[in-house]
Structure 1
Amino acid sequence: MLLPILITTLLWHSTAVSADTDEVVACQPVKLPPLDGLEVVSVTAIERRDHTVPKFKMPYVLDHDIPNLNFCNITVKITHPELGDLTTISVWLPSRKDWNGRFMATGGGGWASGTFDPSLGQAIEQGFAAASTDGGHAIAGSNSDIDPTPWALKEDGSINWQLLHSFAGRSAHNMGVVGKAVTEAHYGVKPHHSYWSGCSNGGRQGLVVAQQYPEDYDGILAAAPALNFPALQMASLWPQIVMKEAGSFPPPCELDYFAELALEQCDGLDGLVDGVIQSIDDCDFDPFQAVGRTIQCNDESIVISNSTAALVARMTAGPTSPQGQNLWFGIPPSCRLSPLAGTKVSPVTGQRVGAPFFVSDAWVKAFLRRDLSYDVTQIGAEEYTWLFTQSLLQYDWLLGSNNPDLSGLRKTGTKLLSWHGMLDELIPYKTIIQYRQRVEEMSGGASATNEFFRLFLAPGVKHCAFGDGPVPVKPINALIAWVEEGVPAQTLVAETKSSGSLVRRNLCLYPQQLHYVKGDPASPESWTCVDKKDAKSKNVQVEKGFGSSIQKILGKI
């Protein structure tokens, strides 16, 4: 399946643990034990030899081929008898000698509960037995992995709550139960440790597991999680509302110029001009400094106007009600604006019009308006605020995935490791900071929280990967060392070749940030982690300003 830019599961090479035997395990359907609340509909097995997982068009999914894979593909279809649903779970199992003794459940992205081949290929390449699920949403002949409209509504137009529950988190739990059972039945021995790995929606699923099913996994890697999903989808529409209210739809290249302007204004705050802003919070971004400048855009010269700068100022400030109350986080100023401030040329009028982000567009049509023909581009400010309210009231209890009570995780000994790119144009990194602070408040402070939940921010990194900043390398290794050896990560190794040469950094444990000292900027030894004196106070103000609960948010509308 072809998946969009949100879909990625960042899996990295881990040290393989050899099995005690080189015994060849037959690739055949396995007999599963009774699974609580689940009924097995079918089990099939296919042996794959010299299999290649091809790269996908979108590099956020998989930007290279994975060749020469040998594994047993066991597919299990399950149902909840009382619901009449049907979910497909695919488990890829490397040969006995290549298995590292571990199980990994992989997350989805966008509207997909799982990404299948891209994430499974990366996992078994590292020696894991790995699983992916369709969440019960796969519909033949549709793009139901990127478009929920084929399954969101029942024939009578009502919400398909059972499938939405599956998307929210139930399918992630079921995948772990089934995947571990298949792994044990196939090899004849339980995996010695089990892990979750996902980014974006896969990161959100990871947090759901941490909050509701902490006993399912020993370690959870939740990158760039789509926290506060109902608020996030409405916030993602804000740039479209801003442009519609102004009656102005600038081309993508004009809007994206302002990311260059932010670098111009703030790049050197960390002690080095290197194309990466280490602390966006310290950047007093002023889009109006661009007014009057001439830029090249689509082979034409454009003079930046005051009205365009005003649009950018509102987009980066974040959504507000007509009364001027802040509702959610805005787009970080050094991010490209075009992914959410999308536009296109109308084939009817020849004029540029809005093009809402596909996840948010479907959210409003299917789950808020319950009308698949609804035109999201016509939403005005008053309706937007009403829809924002309804999004929270109707769905945050199910899809917010923001419960700060991780006492269950703490009791089971499961470890949660999260990282988030600070140049993420789709999910503001401040959402994970807000969540982390709320967990601290319930867990006895930062030091106590670090015993089971560690967060790292990646300056200059976009959604789940790429950008000009170094991207975490082998974060699963850091999680394994924490879980299996009791060695928690103080830094995360990161690297990039975006400039053509290799640049390495050691990302800091939150709330510290990197600061350049001296020496080769490409070397991690030239940087140090420093305490940001006002980091806590600034972030607490952010949390209180935007609400640490639905009640606070709704109180502002």
Structure 2
Amino acid sequence: MLAPVFTLAVLAACAPATVAEAPVRDCQALVRAYDIPGATAKVTSATVRSSGPERCEVTGRIAPAVTFRLALPVRTYGGRYLQYGCGGFCGEVSSPAVVGCGEDTGDAAVAATDDGHAGPAMDGSWALRDQAARDDFAFRAPHVLSLVAKQIITAYYGTPPKKSYFRGCSNGGREGMLLAQRYPRDFDGVLASSPAISILQLGGIYQTWLVRSNTGASGGPIIDATAAGVLHEAVLGACDGLDGLIDGQLEDPRLCEFDPATIRCEPGSARRNCLTAAQTEAAQRLYAGPTDGQGRRLFPGRQPFGGELGWPDWFGQGDSGTSAVLAENHLRYLDFPIGTPHSSLAGFGFTVGDYERLVPESVKINALGLDLTEFHRAGGRLVIEHGWADQGVPPSMVIDYYARLAQRNGGLENTRSFARLFLVPTLYHCGGGELLTRHDAFPELVHWVETGRAPDRTIAEGHGRQGNARTRPVFAYPERARYDGSGSIDDESNFTAAPPLVNDSGIVRWLGEDLYDRRGPVAPG
């Protein structure tokens, strides 16, 4: 799953930094070994950089093969540590952006890792025969980086970080969820964006279903960009006003019960705003989600209504699209135990047998654990943000998890005391979209951790259908935004919180329900 490149962030809600006039130790002195449970880390370089916020840039390696970078503010450190997750299959160490309370300051030490292997983010071939690399990617690398980074921070400033945060999208969001579940004392706050929590089923089953549902006999897409636009306008025409406001977006796509058959072209029709029989069938399969021949659900997700314009980029390009590359790499290299037969995009069967072959590795890598007792007890705070139009990681999968989390942890209100979910209309996977295109709940997470005041609302930004600027409030699930009847519909101040319009628990009945109770492995420490 892909993740965005993070640029300089501004924590508008954070408290003033406690300025360090000078580092306790010289940057170059950090070049040495650091021991953590089960491994040794070695800093290979440490250099002061003055472009942007002045910082000590550290690179290193945690045995056996976890490469990392850590940036330490020289004069503006305020006691925070922020670790970034990585997207896709990882393999590359991003340059972590120094973040702070102002555009020209960085008050947080920041770090990132390649998750224990090198290669392009969309290449999973490293996993075919390397169990150690698999374990690093599945559950170890982000944890051991947190241990090493905190040791280096302590060595540099003379004290450990006051507060530690993790943020990531897609696979990085999965990492954040897994850290809260299996390493509950690593981070005080976790921001999981579009989290790929059931990543093996997501890559092996769901992405395969998307591609095969939308690929014709010639290898080209059944629903191309033109057909996706026709379908999208029909969905809006049928469902836009169901939330009480015609504004070009669906506040909750679950209200929509549109049937693509209603716009199927009549035989011999010259109309352009209709779908062929093949396009109609493909759309119905995409909205339904993966099932076997008996209708048993193989995955807790499906394409949401309202996200059709995002389909061509993900699964509208045959074997070269994002979904196809993800599915092929998952099934060929990662999803089955080493030494057992693997599969492929063309060869995977949507059967109970093929589903069950995914289970052994799923327990290791999926982030479906519902017991967050220790995370809650340690004062941890979790914010999940997800786009209602996410074409890569379906929102229904995350709603299903959150509903089960509430059921397991004493009900919705008790769960909202430490974990909150924000669902953003029209937002695609990790950002972008038709109307609302940007949402960042990280400042609200910091505010929650450091003041104890939970976020009831965040703000999403983008544009209206005429191109003008649009801001909308996004309220903590299950509440929704409701227009108050006066002022611009593109101004967030004219919306209030309202109860949900859907009377649905959110829980999806599927073959993998036992996975939520199966505890995955953890690394030492």
TM-score by length of 2: 0.86
Q: Distance in 2 between matches of 1:320 and 1:385?
A: 9
Answer yes or no: is 1:237 the counterpart of 2:218.
Answer: no
Q: Paired residue for 1:204, among 174, 181, 189?
A: 174
Query: Any idea what the Cα deviations from partners look like across 1:319-366, whole Å, max 9, x if unmatched?
Result: 110222222221112223224433359xxxxxxx98852222101111
The SS at the match of 2:296 is coil
Answer yes or no: is 1:461 the counterpart of 2:427.
Answer: yes
- Which region of structure 1 is more displaced relative to structure 2, 212-221 or 368-377? 368-377
Shift in CA distance, 440/462, structure 1 to aligned 2, threshold 3 Å: same
Match of 2:113 in 1: 133
Q: Distance in 2 between matches of 1:477 and 1:368?
A: 35
Matched ranges for 1:118-197 at <5 A = 119-121=96-98, 126-138=106-118, 142-143=119-120, 145-149=121-125, 151-154=126-129, 160-197=130-167
Match of 1:349 in 2: none
Answer yes or no: is 1:87 the counterpart of 2:66.
Answer: yes
The SS at the match of 2:459 is strand
CA contact (8 A) 1:287 1:313 kept: yes
Shift in CA distance, 431/471, structure 1 to aligned 2, threshold 3 Å: same
Q: Paired residue for 2:504, among 517, 533, 536?
A: 536
Q: Distance in 1 between matches of 2:58 and 2:483?
A: 50
Match of 1:19 in 2: 18
CA contact (8 A) 1:197 1:206 kept: yes
Q: Distance in 1 between matches of 2:34 and 2:62?
A: 13
Answer yes or no: is 1:331 the counterpart of 2:309.
Answer: no
Match of 1:306 in 2: 277
Q: Distance in 1 between matches of 2:145 and 2:446?
A: 20
Quote the offset at 1:545 in angstroms. Answer: 5.1
Q: Distance in 2 between matches of 1:343 and 1:509?
A: 35
Shift in CA distance, 288/6, structure 1 to aligned 2, threshold 3 Å: farther
- Which region of structure 1 is more displaced relative to structure 2, 434-443 or 256-265? 256-265
Q: Distance in 1 between matches of 2:247 and 2:501?
A: 23
Q: Distance in 1 between matches of 2:407 and 2:167?
A: 26
Shift in CA distance, 125/261, structure 1 to aligned 2, threshold 3 Å: farther
Q: Distance in 2 between matches of 1:240 and 1:301?
A: 24
Matched ranges for 1:57-72 at <5 A = 68-72=52-56
Q: Distance in 2 between matches of 1:161 and 1:7?
A: 28
Quote the offset at 1:46 in angstroms. Answer: 2.0
Quote the offset at 1:313 in angstroms. Answer: 0.5
The SS at the match of 2:185 is helix
Quote the offset at 1:522 in angstroms. Answer: 1.4
CA contact (8 A) 1:12 1:475 kept: no
The SS at the match of 2:112 is strand
Answer yes or no: is 1:512 the counterpart of 2:479.
Answer: yes
Q: Distance in 1 between matches of 2:464 and 2:333?
A: 39
The SS at the match of 1:75 is strand
- Which region of structure 1 is more displaced relative to structure 2, 19-28 or 511-520? 19-28
Instruction: Name the aligned partner's letter for residue 496 of structure 2.
Output: T
CA contact (8 A) 1:16 1:127 kept: no
Shift in CA distance, 162/354, structure 1 to aligned 2, threshold 3 Å: closer
Shift in CA distance, 113/406, structure 1 to aligned 2, threshold 3 Å: farther
Quote the offset at 1:161 in angstroms. Answer: 2.0
Instruction: Name the aligned partner's letter for residue 180 of structure 2.
Output: A
Quote the offset at 1:260 in angstroms. Answer: 3.0
Q: Paired residue for 1:213, among 172, 183, 186?
A: 183
Query: Any idea what the Cα deviations from partners look like across 1:388-413, whole Å, max 9, x if unmatched?
Result: 3312x222211121011111111111
The SS at the match of 1:281 is helix
CA contact (8 A) 1:339 1:357 kept: no
CA contact (8 A) 2:386 2:423 kept: yes
Match of 1:58 in 2: none
The SS at the match of 2:41 is strand
Q: Distance in 1 between matches of 2:200 and 2:35?
A: 36
Answer yes or no: is 1:28 the counterpart of 2:28.
Answer: yes
Q: Distance in 1 between matches of 2:470 and 2:106?
A: 24
Match of 2:521 in 1: none
TM-score by length of 1: 0.82
Q: Distance in 2 between matches of 1:188 and 1:355?
A: 45
- Which region of structure 1 is more displaced relative to structure 2, 472-481 or 25-34? 25-34
Match of 2:522 in 1: none
Instruction: Name the aligned partner's letter for residue 250 of structure 1.
Output: I
Match of 2:45 in 1: 44
Q: Distance in 1 between matches of 2:82 and 2:351?
A: 40
Matched residues, percent identical?
26
- Which region of structure 1 is more displaced relative to structure 2, 270-279 or 484-493? 270-279
Shift in CA distance, 274/413, structure 1 to aligned 2, threshold 3 Å: same
Q: Distance in 1 between matches of 2:444 and 2:135?
A: 32
Quote the offset at 1:73 in angstroms. Answer: 0.7
Instruction: Name the aligned partner's letter for residue 446 of structure 1.
Output: L
CA contact (8 A) 2:111 2:149 kept: yes
The SS at the match of 2:59 is strand
Shift in CA distance, 372/301, structure 1 to aligned 2, threshold 3 Å: farther
Matched ranges for 1:367-516 at <5 A = 367-368=334-335, 376-379=344-347, 382=349, 386-391=353-358, 393-470=359-436, 473-497=439-463, 500-516=467-483
Q: Distance in 2 between matches of 1:384 and 1:338?
A: 27
Instruction: Name the aligned partner's letter for residue 378 of structure 2.
Output: T
Cα RMSD after superposing both structures: 3.1
Q: Distance in 2 between matches of 1:356 and 1:291?
A: 26
Q: Paired residue for 2:78, among 100, 103, 111?
A: 100
The SS at the match of 1:321 is coil
Q: Paired residue for 1:322, among 293, 302, 308?
A: 293
Q: Distance in 1 between matches of 2:106 and 2:312?
A: 35
Match of 1:341 in 2: 315
Which consecutive unaligned segments of at least 5 residues does structure 2 have? 518-525
The SS at the match of 2:97 is helix
Instruction: Name the aligned partner's letter for residue 81 of structure 2.
Output: F
CA contact (8 A) 1:251 1:343 kept: no
